[in-house]
Amino acid sequence: MTISDKKIYPRRNDLETVYLKNVITNPNIIIGDYTMYNDFVSDPTQFEKNNVLYHYPINQDKLIIGKFCSIACGAKFLFTSANHTLKSLSTYPFPIFFDEWNLNKTQVASAWDNKGDIIIGNDVWIGYEAVILSGVHIGDGAIIGARAVVTKDVPPYTIVGGVPAQEIKKRFCDETITQLQKLQWWNWSFDKIQQVLPYIMNGEIDKL
């Protein structure tokens, strides 16, 4: 058990920031330890309702977010059911209105193209009002710029921004990125992380 297992608000007198995993009830949303969400506009405990959109049980797709992620106010995760299938000659979602058009209700999901799970790695920072689309995988240590629209996978420790999001730069050299992925410090115990925290904060990877 970690310190973040039951605590909702990690900071005293701050009701705008929550440990996300402790406010989630949907089994198809899986959040790692210490990942936090800040919302100064809406109640952050309503993340599941306000930020995870078109996430219907019929698809069984998942939102998986790793440990120690920082998610800024208004970030949105747009799932498959927001899509309209492109194989149809029309963009109108006829299968959703099966009663109206005398269609088989078991074919509702054919109204959209299933893009799959959204998977966010560890230690990812997602900026203000960024949008992550269904099927996107974001690597460990990546940074998503404010109001970016992420339509494709983001490699580890890469900064992206814009609409659609494009690579701006790598956070570190390839050697350091490889070392960080081998270390996986986010899986260490609380005590071990606390012990080396000055080195993490100061970018001293050679001392980890």
Nearest-CA neighbor of 144 among 162, 132, 160? 160
Q: Which are the contacts of 78, defined by CB distance < 8 A and separation ≥ 6? A: 53, 54, 131, 132, 133, 134
Q: Does an H or E element contain 178, and which?
A: helix 174-183
Active site includes 55?
no
Q: Which of 62, 84, 147, 170 is catalytic?
A: 84
- C-alpha 58: how far from its chain's center? 20
Q: In the structure encoding, which two tokens stand for residue 49, read together? A: 């309702």
- C-alpha 176: how far from its chain's center? 24
Which residues are bridge partners to 76 per DSSP? Answer: 131
Rounded to 5°, the CA angle 74-77-79 comes to 150
Active-site positions read 84
